[in-house]
Amino acid sequence: MTLSSFFKAELLTLFRRKQSIFNALIFFVMVVTLFPLGVDPSPDFLAPAAGGIIWCAIALAILMSVESLFKEDYNDGSLEQWLVSGHSVSVLVLLKVFAQWLMVVIPLVLALPFLSKMLFLASELIPVMLVSVLVGSPALFLIGAIGAALTVSLRGGAVLMLLLILPLYIPVIIFATGAVRAAQLEMPFTGQLAILGAISLLALAISPLMAAISIKASVS
Amino acid sequence: MNWTWFHKLGSPKWFFQWADRWGKVCFWFGTVLLIVGVIWGLGFAPQDYQQGNSFRIIYIHVPAAVLAQSCYLAMGIAGFVALVWQMKLAPVFIKAVAPVGAVMAFISLVSGAIWGKPTWGTWWVWDARLTSVLVLFLLYMGVIAIQNTLDDLQLADKAVAVISIVGVINLPIIKYSVEWWNTLHQPATFKLTEKPAMPVEMWLPLLFSALGLYLFAAGVSMWRMQNEVLVRERRANWVKEEVMKRGV
C-alpha cells in the first residue's frame, strides 16, 4: 500500500458509497429548513440570521458525517492494517480526513448559494459565506476526527462523540458567523476569516497526532 | 535539580501513603480556611458602595470559578504527562479531578446567575465569561462521559488524556472568541500581577475562601485518587496488606 493508492482507494470507497455523502447533504438542507418553519419565515428575521443558521447546520452535518469516519475500517480490520503498514498513522488519518472533506464539502458548497438565497442572504455576501466554509470546515473535520477515533470501538458512540466535540466547534462557529455578520454590516471581515484559517491550521497540526494516539489505543 | 519526587509519583504505593498523610491535612485545613473566609466575607466584610450586600456572593462565586479553570488546566497537564511519560497516576488524577471541576463550574454558574439577578436585572445573559464557563462545564461533562462509557480501562485512560489536552488547547481560543463576541461581565477580580482594587478587609476574606477551596478540593481529589488507586491495584500485595491492616 502506497500513500497515493491509499488515498485513491479512500476516494473511490466514498464515491461508491454515495448515500453517506447524500445523507450529510440532506441533513444540512433539512436543518436549514427547520428554522423558517420553527421560528419565523419573514426576511426580516432570516436575512440577519442566515449566517448563523447555515453555519450551525453545516457544523451538525459535518459532525454527522465525521462520526462514522473510522467505523467501517475498525469493523473490517483495516485499522489494524494501518498499524502494520509501516506508514505513519497520522499521515493516513490526514489523508482519510482530506478525502472525506473533499467528498462532503464539495456538495455542501454547491448547495450553499441556493440555501443562502432561500434565507434571503444578499447575493454579494454569498462569496464571503463560501470562503468561510472553505476555510473553516477543515477545522471541523479535523477536530471531529479526534472524536471519531476515540469512540470508534463503541457501538453507540454517536451521542458521546457529539458531547465531546460540539463544545470544541464553538470558536469556529463564532468566527465564521462573525465574518458573515461583519460583511453584512459592511465592516472588514478578513480578520475573522484569517482567524478561521489559523484555527484550521492549528487543528491540522494537532489533530492527526491525537487521532493516531486514539486509534492505536482503540485497536490494540 | 533533584527529580526523585517526580519519579516517586509514578509509584501508586508511594502516592497512596503520601496522600494518606497529606489528604487529611489539606482537607481539614482547607475546610477551616473556607469556613473562616465565607463567614468573614458574608458577615463582617464592608458593604460595596455600589452593589450593597449583593456583592457578597463573590466569596463563593470567584473561588469556584477560578478553581474550575485551574482544575481543567491541571487535567490538561496530567493528560500530557499521561501520554508522554505514561505515568500510572496521571489518568487517575484526571478521573478524580474531573467531577470536582465540573461541580465547581456548576457552582460558579449558579452563583453567577443569582448574582446577576440583582446587579444586571437578569438571571442569564449571553456574555463572554458566562458562556465560556458554560462551555467549560460541557467539556467537563464530555470527559466524565467518555471515562464512564469506555469499558476498556487503558483506552479510557488514553481517551481522557487526549480530550483533556485538546480541551486545554481550545480553552483560550474559546475564551477569546466569546470575549470578542460579547462582553458585559466585570473584569477579573484578582490578577496575580496587580494590586487588587478592593480594600484589604474585602479581599482578604476572598483570599481565605479561595485558598480554602483550593485546599479542600485538593484533599477531596486525593481521597478520590486513593480510592481509584486501590481499585486499580487491587491485585498488588501492598493493597492486600493495607486492607488487612485496617481490618475492613
Q: What band does B185 get if pLDDT is binned at 50, 70 and 90?
A: low
Predicted local confidence at residue A205, as pLDDT: 94
Pairwise CA distance, residues B55 & B62, whole Å? 11
Nearest 5°: phi and psi at B229? -60, -45
Eight-state DSSP code of residue B182: -
- The 3-class secondary structure across chain B, one letter per residue, is CCCHHHHHCCCHHHHHHHHHHHHHHHHHHHHHHHHHHHHHHHHHCCCECCCEHHHHHHHHHHHHHHHHHHHHHHHHHHHHHHHHCCCCHHHHHHHHHHHHHHHHHHHHHHHHHHHHHHHHCCCCCCCHHHHHHHHHHHHHHHHHHHHHHCCCHHHHHHHHHHHHHHHHHHHHHHHHHHHHHCCCCCCCCCCCCCCCCCCHHHHHHHHHHHHHHHHHHHHHHHHHHHHHHHHHCCCCHHHHHHHHHHCC
Residue A99, chain B, CB below 8 Å: the answer is: no
To the nearest whole angstrom, how far is the Cα of A167 from the nearest Cα of chain B?
6
Residue A110 has pLDDT above 90, yes or no: yes
Predicted local confidence at residue B189, as pLDDT: 60
Residue A189, chain B, CB below 8 Å: the answer is: no
Q: Which residues of B touch A136 (CB under 8 A)?
A: none
Average pLDDT of the segment spanning B196-205: 75
A51, A121 Cβ separation under 8 angstroms: yes
Predicted local confidence at residue A26, as pLDDT: 93
Average pLDDT of the segment spanning A26-39: 91
What is the pTM for the complete model shown? Answer: 0.86
Predicted local confidence at residue B192, as pLDDT: 53
In the three-class reduction of DSSP (H, G, I as helix; E, B as strand; rest coil), residue B170 is classed as: helix
Q: Does B166 sit within 8 Å of A206, measured CB to CB?
A: yes
Q: Does B158 sit within 8 Å of A214, measured CB to CB?
A: yes
Instruction: Pick from B84, B135, B148, B155 the residue to mutate for testing the A interface (most A CBs within 10 Å).
Output: B155
**Domain definitions of chain B by residue range:** 20-47+56-246
Q: Does B163 sit within 8 Å of A164, measured CB to CB?
A: yes
Predicted local confidence at residue A19, as pLDDT: 85
Closest-CA residue of B relative to A212 is B162
- Tell the residue number behind the cell numbers 508522554, with chain if given: B84
Pairwise CA distance, residues A109 & B157, whole Å? 38
User: Nearest Cβ partner of B163 from A150, A199, A218?
Assistant: A150
Q: What band does B197 get if pLDDT is binned at 50, 70 and 90?
A: low
Predicted local confidence at residue B129, as pLDDT: 77
Report the mean per-residue pLDDT for chain A.
Answer: 91
Predicted local confidence at residue A140, as pLDDT: 95
At B40-57, the pLDDT tens digits run: 888 887 777 677 777 888
Predicted local confidence at residue A201, as pLDDT: 96
Q: ipTM of this model?
A: 0.84
Task: Give the residue from B181, B189, B208 showing the smallest Cα distance to B115.
Answer: B189
Residue B7 has pLDDT above 80, yes or no: no
Stronger pLDDT, B129 or A14, i.e. the higher one: A14
Instruction: Pick from A150, A187, A196, A220 the residue to mutate for testing the B interface (most B CBs within 10 Å).
Output: A150
At B130-169, the pLDDT tens digits run: 888 898 999 999 999 988 888 888 899 999 999 999 999 8
At B206-239, the pLDDT tens digits run: 888 999 999 999 999 999 999 999 888 888 888 8
Residue A111 has pLDDT above 80, yes or no: yes
To the nearest whole angstrom, how far is the Cα of B170 from the nearest Cα of chain A?
7
Predicted local confidence at residue A126, as pLDDT: 92
B24, B215 Cβ separation under 8 angstroms: no
